[in-house]
Amino acid sequence: MSETRPGRVSSQRLLPGWRNLAVAFCATAFLLSGVHAASSKKDVRAKTSASASKSSSASSKPSKSTKTASSKRAVSKQTAKADRTSAKSSSRVSVTYSKSAGSRSVTKQRVIARTYEPSRQSFGQMAGLHGADDALDLRSSVALVVDQDTHEVLFSKNEQAVLPIASITKLMTGVLISEAHLPGDELITITQDDVDTEKHSSSRLRVGSTLPRSEMLHLALMSSENRAAHALGRTYPGGLSTFVAMMNAKARSLGMHDTRYVEPTGLSSSNQSSARDLAVLVNYAYGDPLLREYSTSPERQVEVGSRVLQFNTTNRLVKSPEWEIGLQKTGYISEAGQCLVMQARIAGRKLIMVFLDGVGRYSRIADAERVRRWVEANQYMSPAASPALTPVDSNANRQTSIRTIDFAS
């Protein structure tokens, strides 16, 4: 029987303990390796997500070349806007356009030449005619309202002033063409001679456009077509000089002693007349059915070569249901201001109205409306009920005795 030494442990007794320790160590190592693997996978996923996010963010940001192109486009747009703004006050401007072509920025430049007529005072303003007050507070410095049947002057303001009449001139042009009884279907071609070289006004009738004489007259009276009016005078028997001489002779025969014409359109400020003379002309022209029809047409489509052009009246009152207009003509150049002559029935009375040298684009329309309301407010429905409204002479700013105009001169 073997003896056991004190302080020593038997190997048989230690072996199970070591075995258990080894198993525990292996299990711990296995668990730690699993945790590390899971943590690595998480880190990889996190890194991948961060990389993708970074890549997405980078792709959303423009590249350096793209930034340059965008910057150039923005600068070009600002330049174009600034140039277009400066075009409003400059007669010659440069407009820059920019278009992106991949990584390049293509810039095109176009020069626009514009002609501006400096603002100027009308003849009436220079003469101080706008200083005259009137009971109706009109914007026109010259005005005249006459009863066509009784010839009574219902309202007057500077009626003796002789001023440029602009396209009111075309009414006399129409009178001569109509009374000449020239073939209405005869074709007239617009030439370079008909182009406005004085005011440089535009026209939809290009050089080479051909229309019947009757169509030219229609457009001259309805739409105030300058080239049409000039072509009518140019093709008159004897030519333009003969036509102008006939215009002045007709004016004298009607007793229009304040009137002078130098051309058939009204573009020249030398075409001048007075309100009294123009009232005589309106009364005379009203007797021609063709002039009544053409001057009061609201609109018309015209075939010019391969094009169909839409022309409209220059007087919007023609389209108003509140107005019954028998004849009218508008006019404007800077020297004449806004002008309008009309024959209209108001409150049962046939009236002739003349407005010259109006200030403001719609001044002539507003003045006509003021006169209409004034007549209607007096509630005189017919001359039989009341021979005349109380006449007003704005020159004295007071009521006056009844005065008439002799249309039969």
User: Which residues are identified as catalytic?
Assistant: 167, 170, 224
Helix orientation angle between 275-285 and 169-180, rounded to the nearest 10 degrees = 30
Two tokens at 183? 């073939």
Ramachandran region, residue 109 (left: φ > 0; alpha: ψ -120 to 50; beta: rest): beta
**Phi/psi at 98 (nearest 5 deg)?**
-130, 135
Two tokens at 179? 């009374």
68-75, Cβ contacts within 8 angstroms, sequence gap of 24 or more: 68/105, 69/100, 69/103, 69/104, 69/105, 70/100, 72/98, 72/105, 72/107, 73/98, 73/100, 73/105
Instruction: Report strand pairing: 337-346 vs 104-113.
Output: unpaired
Two tokens at 182? 């020239």
Give the residue from 226, 286, 224, 225 showing the smallest Cα distance to 254: 286
Q: Cα 33 to the chain's mean position, in Å?
A: 84
Two tokens at 84? 């277009």
Cβ atoms of 407 and 255 within 8 Å: the answer is no
Burial class (CB in 10 A: 0-12, 13-18, 19+), 100: middle
Name the strand (E) or helix (H) holding 153.
strand 153-157
Rounded Cα distance, 18 and 320, in Å: 118
Cβ atoms of 271 and 258 within 8 Å: the answer is no
Rounded Cα distance, 241 and 227, in Å: 16
Instruction: Report strand pairing: 349-358 vs 140-147.
Output: antiparallel
Rounded Cα distance, 355 and 403, in Å: 19
Cβ atoms of 93 and 87 within 8 Å: the answer is yes
Longest CA–CA span in the chain (Å) reads: 174
